[in-house]
Amino acid sequence: MIFGRTGFGGAVADFEAAVVARDAKRSGKAFVRLQETFGQASEADLLDGGPRLAAVLDQVEPGHRAVVAALVGACVERGADAGRCAPPVLAGLREVLEQAAVFADAWAASGGGALPAVRGERPGDEIVDRVGLEAAVAWWTLPQWETAAVAMLNHLEVRRAAADDLDTLSRLLTAVERASGEDHTYLAHALRVLDGAPLVALHRASGTGYLLRISGIGDNFQLHTLLADALIGGGHVEGDAPTPQEAAVCRETPGQVETTGSFDLVAPDGGTIRNEGAPADIPVVDGVRLLVLDEPSHRRSWPAGRFFPGMRGDALLERALEPEETERWYARVAPAGVTTA
């Protein structure tokens, strides 16, 4: 076989043509070249190659599909159009999550024991015999699909376009985690990122309340710093504000900076909202997420930054609540130190 263009662009063209023609031998050779040439790919080839590979993703041989999805994700991370690349990747993730749940159930039904760690390129014959080929491949390749999907979900336009699908994917992932007993925190947080979500924050020490709108925040460490920047840094409540750099790395500046917590994050029922959790964990009351900010019970520091380095986050203060509004919201929360759950 004589290939045309050289480098990653040529490998993409040959792989695309071979997949469409269902030429297994040619696509296998081009598949190897995709991986060999990606590291030296030009920007133009990456911008062109990501959408082209995504367009044939559902036709790729199952054993190669996850690697191609990961390559599409890597192209997006380096500038390829996420909007064009995302639908096939998220559709593939859905299929893999469905089969990963089948895998976990079949594993338990066939004797149980510790789930196999993913090692090597393919599952062994004994695993395939036990749970079936499709389910085994799904379990084996789920980490690559996670990586590819998060690369897409870093982009606001993708999250908005796929909002309904993300709810389904989140439920499927929950089913996989429940069946397998394993956590997939990175993907779980990506699927539950809130965009343009209203948040009422009640600052108990001052008796004041604030309406904010949060977007692109991966975990509550990031939310914590951005809330402190908006409220303490904005001069609305007293406390130690994050430095401009600490706030910037939580929005879109690369890197991490050590910061110290300004609040205890508390649910309306008095329970703790963990920094390790996500904004989606904050309860919804009357259609709005409701959070109480108490004085910190102890000093706690962590590296301020973004849970998803490629995702821009923010907590925008829309307005301080009027006293009457604030009083109505406080009527919906437990007194300090009381848990009603």
Q: Are residues 180 and 236 in the same domain?
A: no
Q: Are residues 225 and 315 in the same domain?
A: yes
Report the greatest alpha carbon distance in the chain.
77
CA distances from 289 to 94, 196, 267, 326 (A): 28, 12, 10, 14
The domain of 175 spans 42-191
Burial class (CB in 10 A: 0-12, 13-18, 19+), 14: buried
In a domain, 63, yes or no: yes
In a domain, 276, yes or no: yes
CA 38/CA 55 separation, integer angstroms:
18
Per-residue pLDDT tens, the chain, 341 aa: give them. 444 567 999 999 999 999 999 999 999 999 999 999 999 999 999 999 999 999 999 999 999 999 999 999 999 999 999 999 999 999 999 999 999 999 999 999 999 888 888 877 789 999 999 999 999 999 999 999 999 999 999 999 999 999 999 999 999 999 999 999 999 999 999 999 999 999 999 999 999 999 999 999 999 999 999 999 999 999 999 999 999 999 999 999 999 999 999 999 999 999 999 999 999 999 999 999 999 999 999 999 999 999 999 999 999 999 999 999 999 999 999 998 888 86
In a domain, 5, yes or no: no
Q: What pLDDT score does 122 carry?
A: 86
CA 36/CA 18 separation, integer angstroms:
17
Q: Are residues 162 and 253 in the same domain?
A: no
Q: In this structure, are residues 76 and 82 in contact, taking their beta carbons and an 8 Å threshold?
A: yes
Token pair for 78: 């380096």
Task: Quote the number of domains for the chain.
Answer: 2
CA 55/CA 336 separation, integer angstroms:
55
How many alpha carbons lie under 13 Å from residue 68 in its C-beta half-sphere? 31
Q: Are residues 54 and 152 in the same domain?
A: yes
In a domain, 157, yes or no: yes
Q: Are residues 243 and 139 in the same domain?
A: no
In a domain, 35, yes or no: no
Q: Are residues 298 and 253 in the same domain?
A: yes
Q: Are residues 54 and 187 in the same domain?
A: yes
Q: Are residues 74 and 55 in the same domain?
A: yes
